[in-house]
Chains A and B, each alone.
Chain A
Amino acid sequence: MSNNNKKWFSLNLGRKEKAASGSCSCGKTSGGCGGASNSHHITDEEFDVAAINASIGEERTKDGFEQVFDVKMDRRTAFKKLTASLLIGAGAVSTSCSVISSDENKEKSQIDWEEQFKGNYKLMTDEEKNGTVDRLVRSYQLRTGKTISMSSKNAEEDVLFGYAFNISKCKGYMDCVNACVEENNQDRNSQMQYIRIHEMKDGKGFNFNEADDNYYHEVPAEGHFYMGTQCFHCDNPPCVEVCPVQATWREDDGLVVVDYDWCVGCRYCMAACPYDGRRFNWSKPEVPEAEINHNQHYLGNRMRKKGVMEKCTFCVQRSRAGKNPACVEACPTGARIFGNLLDPDSTIRWVLENKKVFRLKEDLGTEPKFWYFMD
């Protein structure tokens, strides 16, 4: 992790530059990165072998206890693991200590252990990112027998994503909402939705107070118009500033993302967002196995756990692969426009240059990258 050019302050207690020795630059002597980084393009069998090698490696012959404690650690890692284990590791230790457990169980607990104590994704090197993605893919496979593909693709250069919403066109069909839920594996139990469609009365202007964002009737309703909101991916996002552990940040292509594994669930960001853009997993999110979208991104639609924050990511798994977000693709009226703000030929640039656009609550200085316009 680059200690030198970071913009934030963190106390450097006992933190040393890691010696660039060892076969694995992710700092995990027990593997989990390196050779297996392309593994989601190979067959299942090859993958199994590679993943087992990667995540157990030389420790394959040792029992669970040794796997955990008999690894070479530098001072910081040792300190981190010990402190953390004192706090909460008792459960994990007891699982990984059991000598009678099968190889698969050992691997599982090894993965769990490494996942529990991995660092913040934002500060990871590319190898470390691949390492955690591989562990997550393998862990999912061990648990369900199904293979998912998970990307850790970084932001591309000269890309800044932006969004425009045509108020004249939206008819309130909510196809975008459904597509979003399916694409992003949101909790079905609590009916979590990133997008809210506000039904407003004609002739009252943009009066959110009298709008209804929870309607169940045929649309478009007579005398009403519709306006959608979601996370606006502010360029100056207040939610990012307040997070005590930097579990949420703005990526270089403008996406504001959350590391679900780093979030401690304090919900400070939720209080700080002026646009109702964030959603919290109040209980364990559940998606029926058949409905899970297997095409995932670490920062996007991978499975979440209870007690963490999530939000719209402009479908990072799609947008970084050159596709439109699910809501844009699903909208039957063409009210939603998405694109690269730095590309002068993009539709979004055309809209911004030729339409009278506005944004919500501009006085707050959050600089949302989400514009509204009318025909």
Chain B
Amino acid sequence: MRRLRVFGSLVKDSLDTITHGSKRYHLWMALLTFVMLFGMYCYSIQLEHGLSVTGMTDRVSWGLYISNFTFLVGVAAAAVMLVMPTYVLKDIDFKQAVLIGEGLAVAALIMCLAFVVADMGGPSVLWHMIPGIGVFNFPNSMLTWDVLVLNGYLFLNITIPLYILFRHYQGKEANPKVYIPGAILSVFWAVGIHLVTAFLYQGLQARPFWNNALLGPRFLASAFAAGPALIILVLAIIRNFTEFKIQDKTIKKIAMVVTVAAQINLIMLISELFKEFYAPTHHSESAYYLFFGLDGKDALLPWIWTAIPLNVLATVLLTFHKLRNNFKVLFFCCFILFIAIWIEKGFGLIVPGFIPGPYGKIAEYTPTGIEIGVTLGIWALGAFVFTILAKTAIGIELGTLKYKKNEGI
């Protein structure tokens, strides 16, 4: 009963926090709300006319939505890079960053689920997919695995920080015996969501571009580069705009993680390129299309040739300690790395899988305005959720949000 009361007051207090803030904060939230409303409007058009309002066709049947979904699974998995040292290795440095990281994971997962729903042809019959009520084709379909692991991960990433914050809110220490097992589990789980999402594509013998054993590991490497890169950027912003103290040491350690992951990612990219272009087979055509275009069709060239140089540049810069320890350079690197991997793991991965088609047909794909509108809306939703979570967490950690025993409810 007491717990409930505390929880009620937590909710009330956090509502209070998130509705109050500086002018800049209100402006930011208003902007996000506006973009979300715009996205919802675009989605309502899609609901009414069907997916024909998107650029997808029978020839390229997955596009912007699934690209973003794939990328965001990676971002979600990255929270684990912070969880591990903090909870498991007891490296206190990360403790503050980790709450932010987990908040980011929650926001990314919500975006993932939103993208999947946006991509469905029949959102009104989605209950067919609920285990026990519908028919859940487990374990045959990798998509059902994905549903399970994503929701499980979401659950973990909500409960662990909630428990810790709940204790801190009452001015008590969190009991490690309670959250450490959960944290360890989420470490494995994060690897799981990533591999499973890669297997979604990797398991299709029909699409040689995806059907390659390196896809899973490359997913992991790129995720562990892009995710923490985003976390660094977010921490930098939070450091600037709030009282929340994040030590330089923390950011430097995360930068180390980004660097190593980016290097591994680059090695795998080289290995992949070698295989496709040293002895090209029939199956290398998608890669040819991606990097050089086929038959004069080259819609993806500007994208991929933006991504590759950015990727290489960021990795090289990060490799030098001097440069990496200069925060201006670091933030710049993180930013371009994030963009590069968003292109590579999104568009650059999903679209070429369909081109050329099973019989060599080359039909290109360009997202429509409505598709882009929905996508922006979902990103705004993610930013919105994250802002709310981060603001509450920071409030509690700073001690401004505290349970007052005598306060009536």
Decide whether A and B assemble into one complex.
Answer: yes
Chain A positions within 8 Å of B, measured between CB atoms, are 8-15, 76, 79-80, 83-84, 87-88, 116, 119-120, 123, 190, 192, 196, 198, 208-211, 213, 229, 238, 241-247, 261-268, 270-276, 278-284, 305-309, 364-366
CB-defined contacts of A88 to chain B, threshold 8 Å: 123-124, 127
Q: In the complex, are the beta carbons of B140 and A307 less than 8 A apart?
A: no
Asked if B122 contacts A263 (CB within 8 A), the reply is yes
A209 with B360: in contact, given A264-B120, A306-B121 (CB under 8 Å)? yes
Interface centre among B52, B129, B131, B147 (most CB of A within 10 A): B52
- Interface pick from B57-65, B258-266, B317-325: B57-65
**Docked-complex contact B135 and A245, CB < 8 angstroms:** yes
CB-based contact A274/B51 at 8 Å: no
A165 nearest CB across to chain B (Å): 15
Q: Would you give the shortest CB distance from B189 to chain A, in whole angstroms? A: 19
B359 within 8 A of A: yes
Residues of B whose CB lies within 8 Å of any CB of A are 49-52, 54, 56-58, 61-62, 116, 119-144, 147, 200, 203-207, 285, 353-354, 356-361
- By beta carbon, the residue of chain B nearest A260 is B122
Inter-chain contact A244/B137, CB cutoff 8 Å: yes
Interface of A is mostly: loop
B359, A308: Cβ atoms closer than 8 Å: no
**A264-B128, A307-B122 given; A281·B141 CB < 8 A:** no
In the assembled complex, the CB of B37 is this many whole angstroms from the nearest CB of chain A, namely 20
Q: Once bound together, how far apart are the Cα atoms of A276 and B60, in whole Å?
A: 11
Chain B facing A: main interface SS: loop
A83 cross-chain contacts in B, Cβ below 8 A = 127, 130, 133
Q: Is A209's CB under 8 angstroms from B356's CB? A: yes
Residues of B within 8 A of A208 (CB): 359-360
- Given contacts A79-B133, A245-B135, A264-B129, list 6 more A-B pairs with CB under 8 A: A120-B135, A209-B356, A243-B137, A246-B137, A271-B354, A282-B54
Considering the chains assembled together, what is the distance between the CA atoms of A116 and B125 in angstroms? 8
**In the complex, what's the smallest C-beta–C-beta distance from B376 to chain A, in angstroms?**
22
> Total A-B pairs in contact (CB under 8 Å)?
176
- Which residues of chain A come closer than 8 Å to B52, judged between CB atoms? 190, 282-283
The 30 sampled A-B contact pairs (Cβ below 8 Å) are A8-B137, A8-B140, A10-B136, A11-B131, A11-B136, A12-B132, A79-B133, A84-B133, A88-B127, A119-B135, A120-B134, A123-B135, A192-B58, A238-B205, A242-B203, A244-B143, A244-B147, A245-B135, A245-B136, A247-B128, A262-B135, A264-B121, A265-B122, A274-B205, A274-B358, A276-B359, A279-B58, A282-B51, A282-B52, A308-B121
Assess whether B132 is in contact with A266, with CB atoms less than 8 Å apart: no
Query: Do residues A9 and B122 form an inter-chain contact, with CB atoms below 8 A?
Result: no
- Residues of A contacting B142 with CB < 8 Å? 242
The answer to whether B132 touches A307, judged by C-beta atoms less than 8 angstroms apart, is: no
A275, B61: Cβ atoms closer than 8 Å = no
Among all A-B residue pairs, the 4 with the closest Cβ atoms: A265-B121, A307-B121, A13-B132, A274-B206
Contact A271 B62 (CB under 8 A): yes
Q: How far is the CA of A14 from the CA of B134 in the complex (A)?
A: 12
Residues of B within 8 A of A120 (CB): 128, 134-135
| Chain A residue nearest in CB terms to B350 | A271
Q: Is the CB of A80 within 8 A of B133?
A: yes
Cα separation A198 to B139 with both chains bound (whole Å): 37
Cβ–Cβ contact B137 & A264, under 8 A: no
